[in-house]
Amino acid sequence: MSFKENDCQQLTLNDAVWGLTERENRMLQKSWATHFADKIFPLIDENKFACLYSEKASRPNTPVNVIIGALIIKELFNMTDDELVESLMFDIRFQYALHTTSFKEQPLSDKTLSRFRNRCYNYELTHGKDLIHDTITELSMEMAKLMKINGQIQRMDSLMIASNIKKLSRMELLYTCLSNFVKYLHKTKEDDKIEGLERYYDPKDFNQVIYHQRQEDYADRLAGILSDANSLMEKCNGSYDDVPEYQLLVRAFSEQVFVEEDGSLRLKTAEDGEMNSTILQNPSDPDATYREKAGKQHRGYSANITESVGEGNSVVTDYQYDQNIHSDSDFLKEHLDATDKKPEEATLVADGAFSGEENRALAESKNIKLVTTDLLGRDTKDIYADFTFSDDGKGILLCPAGNQPKSTSFVKSTGKVRASFNKNKCENCPHRDQCNPKISNKTSAVYVSKASHERAKAQRFTQTWQHKFLGRIRNGVETIPSVLRRKYGVDHMPVRGKIRTKHWFGFKIGALNFRKLLKYSSSMDNCAQNA
């Protein structure tokens, strides 16, 4: 299939719109479809996706801008693929939004959508490039311009996203991995490998082994599963390394099972080590990881939202997506690394989990003021904010009283700077009690780190009206996770795996932003009518 740009963008003489009554046309112009058709659809860059198709002359692709637009609208109305295709065939609003009112036959089918998503998945798997993210964020920036949001103030927050998988006990996990590989061998007619293990491809056996036996028999049942798994892996060693079912069985066994010196098998304990949040949770989603946060267990992924804020409105201008063991601090660092230096100072507001001297310094290098609310960790002395440090943070230039030290040295083991002063400079200094210098016969010395200096400045800033104002702004971003859960079902996505769920998440962000644009446009229309 070769790539071809969509050249059917204008109304024709045979266009379905010409058949509408005046009243119908008036209602169409007031609907969401007109906003999408006029403001979103023309901005979708099809050429970005040319890499998904063959360069050889062949049957042309379904218009990519129609597919992208349809997948955003699908999330807008929380539809299935079939419901979307049906709506496009019979609802002129959908056709108008996607510029297909002139098409003799609507171009989408459920296979069209699934094949496109697979193309994007395989491309990212091979090249590490997320075309969906690039498209959604570009559209988001354009929507921000339409809403007159300049991006000078941004806020950031993360959310846990549950993988659509069942919580498995360790025995259930091992049984399932073994059963999946046995089923694979049975399907490929390699029954000689699974002689004596036939029960594992019987759909009734799982319940019989896991649930329909006495608790006292647990040890025997587990021992049987471990023994069967071990013997099958020994029999198949090296022959099925490229088979996903075999890979997951080997992974689960190595992560969960300890082999004693005498060859006996048992489940690993905390004392054995090697068990962490990255271990397999369910073979249905090998990418999902485990994390405890705020007293709750999470299996799946984590997303980070960057929202640009205007006067009374906002739009999500960037998002990140990773395993849920990815920290907020890492999300921020990656965001800043990918951000160009701002021509004018911008402000990024986040909670205390995003703080850190490294991130603050990185933000500063991009001309971004990082403001973190709810600082984590212990408070430090306020006086430290008044020391003047060298650019590299390894020297003190001036003390709070304005005195220049006789000498400074950097203590690598503690990260502190030792600043030495004449004794008389500190003895009668009004800041003595706060600095608490170590005074000797001729000199006095203070030990202050650049990290303490920055934290003291951050603590002092929390008392200002600017910080309180920005704190109220940051609170607004906390509504996004709630909306994504309630209206867009991020915890119940019909796909699994990091890349696939990330792509679906991206379209949900596109729908969320379009709804924000609709609300903004509606408020502008009301203002115009009342003027």
Cα 184 to Cα 347: distance, rounded to the nearest angstrom: 54
Residues 6 or more apart from 400 whose CB is under 8 A from it? 383, 386, 387, 431, 434, 435
**Alpha carbon of 431 to those of 19, 54, 154, 278, 437: distances in Å?**
83, 73, 37, 50, 10
Within a 10 A sphere around the Cβ of 466, how many other Cβ atoms?
Answer: 13
Q: Angle CA(87)–CA(88)–CA(91) in degrees, nearest 5?
A: 65
DSSP 8-state code for residue 265: E
How many Å separate Cα 252 from the centre of its chain?
26
H or E element: which one contains 486? helix 479-486
| 367, 345 Cβ separation under 8 angstroms | yes
Residues 6 or more apart from 522 whose CB is under 8 A from it? none
Burial class (CB in 10 A: 0-12, 13-18, 19+), 417: buried
Kindly state the tokens that stand for 2: 């070769």
Neighbouring C-alpha atoms within 13 Å toward the C-beta of 379: 7
- Note the pLDDT of residue 442: 84
Q: Angle CA(402)–CA(405)–CA(410) in degrees, nearest 5?
A: 125
Torsion over CA: 349, 353, 358, 362 (sign)? negative
| 259, 265 Cβ separation under 8 angstroms | yes
Q: Which of 308, 309, 330 is nearest to 320 (CA)?
A: 330
| 364, 342 Cβ separation under 8 angstroms | no
H or E element: which one contains 26? helix 22-30
- Give SS3 for 264: coil
Domain coordinates of the chain in residue numbers? Answer: 16-129, 170-272, 382-452
H or E element: which one contains 92? helix 92-97
| 459, 380 Cβ separation under 8 angstroms | yes
DSSP 8-state code for residue 342: P
DSSP 8-state code for residue 194: G
Within a 10 A sphere around the Cβ of 404, how many other Cβ atoms?
Answer: 13
Cα 210 to Cα 124: distance, rounded to the nearest angstrom: 38
- Note the pLDDT of residue 13: 55
- Note the pLDDT of residue 245: 96
Neighbouring C-alpha atoms within 13 Å toward the C-beta of 294: 4
Burial 136-167 (b: 16+ CB within 10 A, else e): bbebbbbbbebbebebebbbbbbbbbbbbeee
Stated length of the chain: 531
Kindly state the tokens that stand for 360: 């603050």
Cα 228 to Cα 244: distance, rounded to the nearest angstrom: 19
- Note the pLDDT of residue 509: 98
Kindly state the tokens that stand for 426: 């500190």
Amino acid of residue 321: Y
Cα 250 to Cα 34: distance, rounded to the nearest angstrom: 54
Cα 84 to Cα 77: distance, rounded to the nearest angstrom: 9
Cα 65 to Cα 45: distance, rounded to the nearest angstrom: 7
Beta strand 346-351 pairing with 153-162: parallel
- Note the pLDDT of residue 275: 78
Q: Which of 250, 258, 259, 239 is nearest to 283 (CA)?
A: 250
Digits of tens for pLDDT over the chain (531 positions)?
Answer: 777 777 665 555 568 888 899 999 999 999 999 999 999 999 999 999 999 998 776 777 899 999 999 999 999 999 999 999 999 999 999 999 999 998 889 999 989 999 999 999 999 999 999 999 999 999 999 999 999 998 888 989 899 999 999 999 999 999 999 999 999 999 999 999 999 999 999 989 898 888 877 777 888 999 999 999 999 999 998 789 999 999 999 999 999 999 998 989 999 988 887 778 999 999 999 999 999 887 889 999 999 999 998 887 899 999 999 999 999 999 999 999 999 999 998 988 887 777 777 888 899 899 998 887 755 557 678 888 889 998 888 899 999 999 999 899 998 888 899 999 988 889 889 898 889 899 888 889 999 988 888 778 777 766 654 555 555 555 565 788 999 999 999 999 999 999 999 999 999 999 999 999 999 988 766 655 554
Cα 89 to Cα 78: distance, rounded to the nearest angstrom: 17
Q: Which of 481, 469, 458 is nearest to 374 (CA)?
A: 458
